[in-house]
Amino acid sequence: MPISFKNMENISEETSCCCGKKHCCEDSEVPETVPAVEPSGFPNVALVGNANTGKTTLFNSLTGLRQHVGNYPGVTVSKYSGPLKLFHGEKIELTDLPGIYSLAATSLDERVVIDVLSGRLAKKGTPRPDAIVCVVDVNNLQRNLFLATQVAELGIPMVLALNQIDVARRDGLSVNTDLLRERLGIPVIAVSARKGEGIEALKQAIADVLKNGNKMKTVAWNAGTRKAIETLRAGLSEDVKKNVSDAELERVIFDVASPVANRLKGEDIEHVGEILKKARECIRAFGENPHSTEALQRYAFIKEILAGVTHRGKERTTFTSLVDKLLLNRVFGVVFFFAAMWGVFWCIYTLAAFPMDWIDGWFGSLGESVGAKLEASPVFQSLVVDGIIAGVGGVLVFLPQILILFFFLGVLESTGYMARAAFLMDKLFGWCGLNGKSFVPMLSGYACGIPGIMGARTIEDPKARLATILAVPFMSCGARMPVYVLMCGVLQRVLSENPAYAESSAGIASAVFVAMYFVGVIVAVPVSWLYTKFVLKSKAAPFVLEMPRYQLPRLRDIGLRVWQSGWEYTRRAGTIIFAMSVIIWFLSYFPRSEAVAEQARTEFVAETAAAQNVPVAEFEKVLVAAEESEEPSEAQEALVGALGNKIDGAWMENSYIGRFGKFCQPVFAPCGFDWRITVGVLGSFPARELIVSTLGITYSLGGDVDEETEDLYASMEKTTHADGSPVFTIPVIIGIMVFFALCGQCLAEIVVIARESSWKWACIAWAQMTFLAWLGAVLCFQIGSLF
């Protein structure tokens, strides 16, 4: 039995549309993302096959580096295609369709494959294939041919590629391809995508099929099934009859878990429901169950086709079975898994540090160099340095972590270990709607949420994938560490002033620092359960996946995946992140009133003169001399710098974002935040670590402070409310850290969530995380203030 036919006796025959209307909606509800690649004008050939058959490896072997990546119209399923040169200058466009196990259309990937093969996306730039290469694992020939027999009924010329023939020979399996070709009526080519064996023969077979139109022999249905198809067709409206094939009607009858609305666009759902019940009664009248008759008849057909085609020698213990005894062991397997995941996490966090620091430093140096040449135009200087250069740097600084993550994901998948890891972790995550493959993206989120969110692509179930995407931002990434360090430093200073905690202040601060890394995951798990239970409403289902053989990773395929992931992030998410960074710069920079600068200067002179106990007029002369000096001393430079910080702080307070922070202050008042903290929260939206520099500006210390600057600690510790009470009390400090542990990590993360799902879900993720962060901060302050 194939994987997709499980628990079929208990599946309801519900036929209502997914949109809840009597008449089906015409298009998918998923918003459009990146448009599909425009048709090339060459014949279009699609690769179809089960997951883990080596289909993508074969695609990489055929197209090499000439691939392009887009999205199918209206959905977020990636589309991989590329040109392939055959013989005598002939060219085709080759498309790698998502790996599926059947045409049941119960998942987004399956619906995309059906829509492509049926030609429903032709008007949106994805034409119906002129031919199909059905890739099967020769070592699992009977099970893989189930999908091939379904695809054959669509009437598209086909080539059957028997992949991993080298492994079959090694395991003592021989295949009579000539006999199989004769019985199926189509070219059958034995290939090894990893070793390049049979590639030229496959190209020739594709050229022959495009010329001759060879179509695979289909299943001869019994009388009950034929009667059911005729009954269903007879009950349809004339317009629908013209546009629906027998193959699509078969899917309506057999796929009881797939809404009829996905198959018969525009048809009256209630009417079809009645006709469908009559059609299925025809199968029951023949003595069979409509839920299982397809599988029984297809496998009977496949068994007949394969009789005498394959021959296996003496059974022997394989390397895969020996290794699985260790890696799937209840004890050693789990220990090895956590050790492997820790190694991946360490590499992402540690190995990426040098290139990230280099990128950050290079863009910082570039900003200083360019800024020095634009001093004559302060506005343009700030736009170029703080907006454009900082925006581009903010995009590229994440690339090392993304590339390293996808390198290791590629290694784990290509070796065959990813399926084992998912199996081991499924029990841990399954109860809350996630699955075993959710662990790697969530672990990666501790280094950076962006590669973690992108890493959720390995999860086939769209609802589990979305739940994982929404859970990853709760993991405390590296950007939150400066916030924790800063606040724990302030916490230690506050505790040290209390005799009861003075000696243990460092230990308490360290414990709080570590605890912050658990806050996110403690909240993420129940939130995921609520989403899957009440929002996504995903039904509990067995976690079934195929265990591929262990094999050495193919560096070329891994390199392609790393390159595609990096380029996709830079091209798609990077453009939006850059644009938003410029917008945030604008809100932080304007308006820049000279009156505000003069007022800040006057206050600076008065405050500094009073602090030094000198007359204001005398200090004014000292300040003017420092400003006009061509070769200022260190003291003069420090004085002018302090004045500049004071003016920058005043400008920040009166900027659009500063005004908005004060406007939002009543919302954050229950958290115990003052306007400076509120502006810091809003100003750190592009990247959470920016709160440190934002607080530095608002406290007139400059934007170049870091989380260990003593002057910033002292200024924060001395800050008071209007009534004279300190702002940074223990409940407020803990509340700030909880807020940053639960709120969205950064602007780039929100953009990536939108690219990987939709803007609707990105906005939902931002709103729910912001609310939970606010609620956590309120509870910390209100409850903590009682003690």
Mean per-residue pLDDT for 515-521?
87
User: Tokens for 303?
Assistant: 């068994």
Per-residue pLDDT for 12 more than 60? Answer: no
More confident call, 96 vs 25: 96
All residues at 6 or more sequence positions from 727 whose CB lies less than 8 Å from its CB, including other chains: 672, 673, 674, 676, 677, 716, 719, 720, 721
Residue corresponding to tokens 């317009």 = 239
Mean per-residue pLDDT for 124-148?
92
Nearest CA to 310 out of 180, 188, 133 is that of: 180
Q: Are 625 and 643 in contact (CB under 8 A)?
A: no
Residue 182 CA to its chain's centroid (Å)? 45
pLDDT 10s digits, 259-282: 554 556 555 667 778 888 899 999
pLDDT of residue 187: 96
3-state secondary structure of 724: coil
Task: Give the CB-side neighbour count of residue 259, counting CA atoms within 13 A.
Answer: 21
pLDDT of residue 256: 65
Per-residue pLDDT for 183 more than 90? Answer: yes
Q: Are 112 and 75 in contact (CB under 8 A)?
A: yes
Please report how the helices 417-429 and 319-327 are oriented relative to each other, as an axis angle in degrees rounded to 10. Answer: 30
Computed over every residue of the chain, the mean pLDDT equals 82
Task: Give the CB-side neighbour count of residue 660, counting CA atoms within 13 A.
Answer: 12
pLDDT of residue 74: 46
Nearest CA to 188 out of 175, 197, 171, 170 is that of: 175
Residue 132's DSSP bridge partners are 46, 158
Distance of alpha carbon 483 from alpha carbon 176, whole angstroms: 66
More confident call, 251 vs 132: 132
Mean per-residue pLDDT for 2-10?
33
User: Tokens for 2?
Assistant: 């194939």
Nearest CA to 740 out of 699, 772, 783 is that of: 772
Q: What phi, psi does 434 have (nearest 5°)? A: -90, 175
Nearest CA to 372 out of 358, 393, 389 is that of: 389
- How many Cβ atoms from other residues are within 10 Å of residue 649's Cβ? 22
pLDDT of residue 500: 85
**In terms of pTM, does the model score above 0.75?**
no
Q: Of the ranges 22-31, 169-178, 537-546, which is most confident? A: 169-178
Residue corresponding to tokens 């400090």 = 733
Mean per-residue pLDDT for 299-315?
89
User: Tokens for 584?
Assistant: 């945030």
Distances (CA, A) of 598 to 206, 475, 695, 758: 77, 44, 22, 47
pLDDT 10s digits, 57-90: 898 888 875 555 555 444 446 677 888 988 777 8
pLDDT of residue 721: 79
pLDDT of residue 351: 85
- How many Cβ atoms from other residues are within 10 Å of residue 786's Cβ? 6
Assign 40 a pLDDT band (cuts: 50, 70, 90): low
Residue 74 CA to its chain's centroid (Å)? 17
pLDDT of residue 22: 38
Task: Give the CB-side neighbour count of residue 653, counting CA atoms within 13 A.
Answer: 18
User: Tokens for 558?
Assistant: 């891994």
Task: Give the CB-side neighbour count of residue 155, counting CA atoms within 13 A.
Answer: 8
pLDDT of residue 145: 96
Per-residue pLDDT for 42 more than 50? Answer: yes
Distances (CA, A) of 703 to 326, 380, 386, 737: 53, 19, 11, 21
Q: Are 649 and 698 in contact (CB under 8 A)?
A: yes
Distance of alpha carbon 105 from alpha carbon 255, whole angstroms: 8
Please report how the helices 399-415 and 417-429 are oriented relative to each other, as an axis angle in degrees rounded to 10. Answer: 100
User: Tokens for 575?
Assistant: 């453009």
Per-residue pLDDT for 14 more than 90? Answer: no
Task: Give the CB-side neighbour count of residue 337, counting CA atoms within 13 A.
Answer: 25
Per-residue pLDDT for 463 more than 50? Answer: yes
Q: Are 144 and 49 in contact (CB under 8 A)?
A: yes
Distance of alpha carbon 591 from alpha carbon 381, whole angstroms: 16
Q: Are 159 and 189 in contact (CB under 8 A)?
A: yes
Residue type (1 letter), 524: A
- By CB atoms closer than 10 A (0-12, 13-18, 19+), residue 324 is middle
pLDDT of residue 34: 34
Nearest CA to 296 out of 283, 307, 281 is that of: 283
pLDDT 10s digits, 742-762: 987 677 788 889 888 889 999
3-state secondary structure of 308: coil
Assign 19 a pLDDT band (cuts: 50, 70, 90): very low
Q: Are 633 and 655 in contact (CB under 8 A)?
A: no
Per-residue pLDDT for 93 more than 80? Answer: yes
Q: ∠ CA(173), CA(177), CA(179), 5° rounding?
A: 115
Prior bond to 591 cis, omega within 30? yes
User: Tokens for 494?
Assistant: 């506050």
| Torsion, Cα of 320, 323, 325, 328 (10° steps) | -90
Per-residue pLDDT for 741 more than 60? Answer: yes
Give rounded-to-5 percent helix, strand, coil for the chain.
Answer: 65, 5, 30
Distance of alpha carbon 77 from alpha carbon 646, whole angstroms: 51
Mean per-residue pLDDT for 388-392?
81
3-state secondary structure of 168: helix
Assign 695 a pLDDT band (cuts: 50, 70, 90): confident
Nearest CA to 513 out of 689, 733, 267, 337 is that of: 733
Give buried/exposed letters for 196-218 (b at 16+ CB in 10 A, else e). eebbeebbebbbbbbeeebbbeb
All residues at 6 or more sequence positions from 638 whose CB lies less than 8 Å from its CB, including other chains: none
Per-residue pLDDT for 711 more than 70? Answer: yes
pLDDT 10s digits, 535-569: 887 665 556 667 788 888 888 888 887 887 788 77
Spatial strand order in the sheet of 131-137: 68-71, 78-85, 91-96, 44-49, 131-137, 158-163, 188-190
Per-residue pLDDT for 348 more than 80? Answer: no
β-strand 173-175 against 131-137: which pairing, if any? unpaired
pLDDT of residue 24: 37
pLDDT of residue 29: 34
Assign 222 a pLDDT band (cuts: 50, 70, 90): very high
Residue 79's DSSP bridge partners are 70
Per-residue pLDDT for 9 more than 80? Answer: no
pLDDT of residue 418: 81
Q: Are 529 and 393 in contact (CB under 8 A)?
A: no
Mean per-residue pLDDT for 366-373?
91
Mean per-residue pLDDT for 381-396?
81
Assign 191 a pLDDT band (cuts: 50, 70, 90): very high
Residue type (1 letter), 556: R
Per-residue pLDDT for 783 more than 90? Answer: yes
| Torsion, Cα of 627, 630, 636, 640 (10° steps) | 40
